[in-house]
Structures are given as C-alpha cells and as structure tokens.
Structure 1
Amino acid sequence: MVTTELTVRAPAKINLHLGVGAPRPDGFHPLVTVYQAVGLYDDLTVRAAPGWALGVDLPDWMPAGVVPTGGANIVDRAAALLAEHHGVVRSGEVHVAKAIPVAGGMAGGSADAAAALVALDRLWGLHTPDDEMLALAAQLGSDVPFALLGGTALGTGRGELVEPVTDRGTWWWVVVPAETGLSTPSVYRHFDEMFPDAPAEPVPADALLRALAEGDPWALADALHNDLEAPAVDLRPELGELIERGEAAGALRGIVSGSGPTCVFLCGSADHARALAADLTDPAHPVVLAANGPVAGAHLVSYA
C-alpha cells in the first residue's frame, strides 16, 4: 500500500546530567550528558505532494513568528539531507504542530528534525538503515540522534554519540518555559568566560547513572548536574530565583534544562507534579507543564 499521509510524534528532552569540557580545536565543547525524553511532543504530519511546503502551528502561549519557515527551518534541512542521501527529489506538504518550548533547552527543533527523517523516510519509501539514519541525524545537530532514540541515554562527543542506559524509574517533572528564549551559543560563550580553566574532559555521569539504575527519586535529585546552569542563571538571574521558589514549594530538585531558559523540577509522583505545577503558575509563568519520562523517541502515530 502506498502511504500518502502520516504523522510522527517526537518528544522533548531534558538533560539529567550535562558535563561540559573546554572547547575542542574544532570549536565544539566535549560533552558527557544523560538525556531523558519526556512527554511533551511536537507532531509532524506529511502528505504526498509534487512540490515542497512547510507550515507550522503554534499554541497560544508561544509568540507568533518564533519558529522560522520559508527554507530556514531544520525540517527543511532534514528533508534536503535525506533526499540528497538517497538521490531523490524532495517533495511533500509538511505541517508541524508545536508544543515543545522553543529556544528553551528542550531540543524542540531537534525533535522536529528527527520526526521529519522518520516521516519522510516512510513517505518516500526509502527504508534507510538505522545506522545511516543516526549518521544523518548527527549532521543536523547534536541532539537529533537522541530525538530518534528516545528513552534515557548517555551522550558523548558533542552529544551526538548516544547509547541507551539502564533506567528503572518512572520520573515526573514540572516544566516551566520562559517567555523569552536564550541562545545556546551565547550560553556556551558565557560558560567559556566564566570558566576559562574548564577541564578538557567533562564531569562524568557515574552518580546519575547509578541513581537511574536504582530508580530512587531522592538519589536522582542529588545527582542532577548541569554545567551550563551557572552561565544561564548569570545571564538570566530570574532563573535562579525560579529554581529556589520551586524547591521551596516542595520540588525534590530544580535545574535549568540544557542551555535554558526552561527550568525543570523533579517530583515524587504524578500528583506531586500536578500540585507543584499549580503552585508555580502565576502571571510571570502562565504556562507550567507536567510531564513524565522516559518516553519513546520519534515514532509513527498515524498513517493513510
């Protein structure tokens, strides 16, 4: 049967551990990170069409124009890369329904790229092997391979080399997006300014991996680590104030997600997460979300 329309769902990520080393000669920072995919999703729908078109729908709480279109979106690049890899013509009508915070350290763009690779591979009947798909994903961005994989995984290199890890927990998070994004390159630059003597090798994730294997939320809370939190908070002091407020309200631990400015709070249960989300919702933070993890990576949810 020829597929003419399908939808792929891809999750947001948080970094449970993010160790950052001094810049390499190529300008990238070596990373040791532990990713977790959480239950906030973007949905990407593709339809067979002779040309190429991309549209994006945003929820009411995202400002208009925050996601580029007209050739500048990572979905356009993912489609072009996959088409070039197989020597086919890029075609289709693509629609992205956003729900992952934009420029928030949760890899929403990477999720869209992963969803595009999965969706267009099926729409075009390419059957790309997994290892080739991961290699293409790595060309698009450091977080894209994990968006394909999902679950909980250790990332090394610049984050693009991923392998699943043992995770015996079901974790509940409260996610607080910021109204204004924070540029990832600017956070890394500020990290270099604040820590000019950063070690070449990032902080390892041993304690975090043990906590995941034990499935103990208090151990996980103690082990959460993010080397980019200090520069993000220095650039945006209100993030530190939000973390203090969330922990005072009962979170097991609060942390900046990736390069920020989204902050995430570990909770002990679904009810705990819902209660904390209600406590943190106010005029300064009108959108507060509860999500569980780990969840699956980019996956098909419907086709015709």
Structure 2
Amino acid sequence: MTIDKNVPVAGGMGGGSADAAATLLACDALWNTGLSRDELLRLGAQLGADVPFALMGGTAVGTGRGDELSPALAQGQFQWVLALADFGLSTPAVYRELDEHRVRHLADINPVRQPRVDSGVLQALRAGDPARLADVMYNDLQAPALHLEPGLSAVLELGEQNGALAGVISGSGPTVAFLAPDLDDALELQIALSAAKLAVVRATGPVHGARLLSD
C-alpha cells in the first residue's frame, strides 16, 4: 500500500489521522470485511483520537479524547488559508508546555473544567457567518505553541494585516490557519502570503470524511 501524503508531518492538521482513516477504510474494502460505520469509528479511535473525525467528516463536536463525536449543524462553507511551516512541532511537547503554561499563569487562568464548545461558535456555524466565527475562534494550544516557536506570531500578524478575519494556530501547530471572509479574499490572502515566501494552501470546509473513489 502506498500513501501519497500531501499534509506535512507534525503540521498540526491531523494529516496522520486522515491517513489512518483512509487506510482503515481501504483495508475494509480490500478485505471485504463489511464493517459497519460504528465498528470503523471504534477501530479508528484505537488508532488515534482524531481518526474517527477523519472518517466522519462534516462538522462535529468532539469530547472525551476528541473521539466521541456529535454532529454539529453548519450552513454554507468557510474559506481558509493555511500557512505551512518548514518545521514540525511535537504534539506531546506542546501539551507538556500547555501544562507548564497553566502552572505559570495559575492566577490568571480559570480552573480547567469539563471541556465544552462555546455557544458562540455553534451559533456562527449554524448561521454560516465567518465574521461571527472569527470573533469566537480560539485554541488553548496556541499560547504554548507560540512559546515554543515565537516566530509564528509574525505569521499570525501578517495574515491579519492582509485581510484575514482571524488567524489561529492549527491544532498543536506549527501550521497557522486564517479564516477569510469569502473566496475572493482567500485568494488575495493566499497571494499575499505566498509573496512573503510562505508555503500556503487554500482549503474550504466543512468537507466529507474518508471515502472510496472509483476511476
């Protein structure tokens, strides 16, 4: 089996999980095991916390390890521009830094409670409104990722100076994801970031999960 991998290794975009989901689906078809959707999701969760979402696709709220999924209603599409780094960030290292970050800022951070999705995020998704979504986007791993790689701050600033509604570290980094108002703005942002010698790709979401294609 050969995997044509286009998502950078350790890029914080779930590329390895997507590869695992595709491989799991391919093996099910190749071996004609006829697993149900729930069985595939259960096996995917054993491979990695993000694998079930890569199988499911769409828009979902993840709880537990991130593998307990509930579909979320989203209208329309959102335009993203991703600035890729020429280095990787270790996910375990970023999580360790998050623990240390919370200790350092214990007096300023509210106690960590059961994770939940901000209602503003769900409302923005239901409305299909990128401006509203930009106002409520955040990532707890952004501060530790920036502490490990301070240069990513300049990338965030550059994107927001060139028309992005908001920028956020993707996952554990180092990829930076910028939300654009529409397709035209996304194309202009892509050109601006490319002119700054950054490796850039454009993406539209939400999208389907792993699926079989026929020639």
TM-score (norm 2): 0.93
Q: Show the counterpart of 2:36.
A: 129
Residue 300, structure 1, aligned to residue 207, structure 2: no
Residue 212, structure 1, aligned to residue 125, structure 2: yes
Distance 2:7 2:180 in 1: 20
Distance 2:36 2:203 in 1: 31
SS at match of 1:210: helix
Structural mapping, 1:1-304, within 5 Å: 94-196=1-103, 197=106, 198-202=111-115, 204-282=117-195, 284-285=197-198, 287-302=199-214
Alignment-mate amino acid for residue 48 of structure 2: G
Distance 2:130 2:25 in 1: 33
Distance 1:200 1:211 in 2: 23
What is the count of residue pairs matched by the alignment?
209
SS at match of 1:266: strand
Q: More helix per residue: 1 or 2?
A: 2
Alignment-mate amino acid for residue 143 of structure 2: A
Alignment-mate amino acid for residue 173 of structure 2: G
Alignment-mate amino acid for residue 254 of structure 1: G
Question: How far does the alpha carbon of each residue in 1:138-177 deviate from its partner, in whole angstroms, 9 at most, with x for none?
Answer: 0111100000000111000010111210001310000111
SS at match of 2:69: strand
> Structure 1 residues 204, 151: closer, same or farther in 2, change over 3 A?
closer
Structure 1 residue 202: Cα displacement? 2.8
Moved over 3 A (4+): none
Structure 1 gaps, min length 5: 1-93
Question: How far does the alpha carbon of each residue in 1:75-134 deviate from its partner, in whole angstroms, 9 at most, with x for none?
Answer: xxxxxxxxxxxxxxxxxxx11111112211111110010001111101101001111111
SS at match of 2:11: coil
Alignment-mate amino acid for residue 117 of structure 1: L
TM-score (norm 1): 0.67
SS at match of 2:209: coil
Question: How far does the alpha carbon of each residue in 1:213-236 deviate from its partner, in whole angstroms, 9 at most, with x for none?
Answer: 111111011011100000001111
Q: More strand per residue: 1 or 2?
A: 1
Q: Show the counterpart of 1:19.
A: none
Structure number with larger C-alpha Rg: 1
RMSD across aligned positions (CA) = 1.3
Structure 1 residue 270: Cα displacement? 1.4
Distance 1:293 1:203 in 2: 21
